[in-house]
Copies of this chain bind each other. A is one copy, B any other.
Amino acid sequence: MTDQATADLWSGERTETARRLLLAGVESFARRGYHATTTRDIATAAGMSPAALYIHFPSKAALLAEISRTGHRATLDLVERAEASAPGPVDQMRQLVEDFTVWHARGHTVGRIVNHELYALPEDAFAEVAGLRIRIEDTVRRIIEHGVAVGDFDVLDARTAARAVTSLGIDVARWYTDRSTETPEELGRRYGVLVLRMLGGPAA
């Protein structure tokens, strides 16, 4: 079953047919992995013929590329909005961790694909996605460095700390399921508290 966050990713932006194919791609890649999925599997899951798929996407790789780009752009957007949401690094970081966690819990299906199938991307899509990932991590590091500069945080190495913050959130997509006992929002709040402490910030 596609989670709601995944289903919303292309709402309004694409034709209904392309959207159905993208969601069928997400489902199929999540179930069997990218390499074992054929364009026929995806077309069938979308209730179409393989020929109809090729009208919208030239290849299976092009479908993966669009899924990955869209997922990464949405993540970068979320992270930049968190940075803009408050003047101080503590509130920025709390917001960032809460939203990042909720996003990876709600969108765990697409989250697994965009994070575990990176090396299956065609070269140009890989380069673009790698650039988006650097901007995500740079935003997290910038907030940490800002916090250290004003005395709100205290870390030995901002790069490792930024990596830990993003890693903790990304891995939510691996283990979170619709049967998990915590809601995405509860988990986000708890992770926000844990991360602020990890950074030497004030307890929430």
Give CA–CA (A64, B33) in the complex, Å.
15
Would you list which residues of chain A between 182 and 198 have a CB under 8 Å from chain B? 182, 187, 190-191, 193-195, 197-198
Which residues from 159 to 182 on chain A have a C-beta closer than 8 Å to any C-beta of chain B?
Answer: 160-161, 163-164, 167-168, 170-172, 174-175, 182
From 79 to 127 in chain A, residues with beta carbon under 8 angstroms from any chain B beta carbon are 115-116
Interface residue A157 (Cβ < 8 Å from any Cβ of B): yes
A69 to nearest B CB, angstroms? 20
Asked whether A190 and B157 contact (CB < 8 A) given A163-B175, A168-B167, A175-B163, the answer is yes
Q: In the complex the two chains form, is A156's CB within 8 Å of B198's CB?
A: no
- Candidates B36, B170, B198; contact of A35 at CB < 8 Å: B36
Tell me if A172 and B161 are in contact (CB < 8 A). Answer: no
Whether a CB of chain B sits under 8 angstroms from the CB of A200 is yes
Alpha-carbon distance A172/B15, docked complex (angstroms) = 38
The chain B residue sitting closest to A198, CB to CB, is B198
Q: Is A167 touching B171 in the complex (CB atoms < 8 A)?
A: yes
| CB contact under 8 A between A193 and B36, given known A115-B174, A116-B174 | no
- Which residues of chain B have C-beta atoms less than 8 A from A175's C-beta? 163, 167
Across-interface contacts of A191 in B (CB, < 8 A)? 160, 164
28 contacts between A and B (CB under 8 A): A33-B36, A35-B36, A36-B36, A115-B174, A116-B116, A116-B174, A156-B190, A156-B193, A160-B182, A160-B190, A160-B191, A160-B194, A163-B175, A164-B168, A164-B191, A164-B194, A167-B168, A167-B171, A167-B172, A167-B174, A167-B175, A168-B168, A170-B171, A171-B174, A197-B197, A197-B199, A198-B198, A200-B203
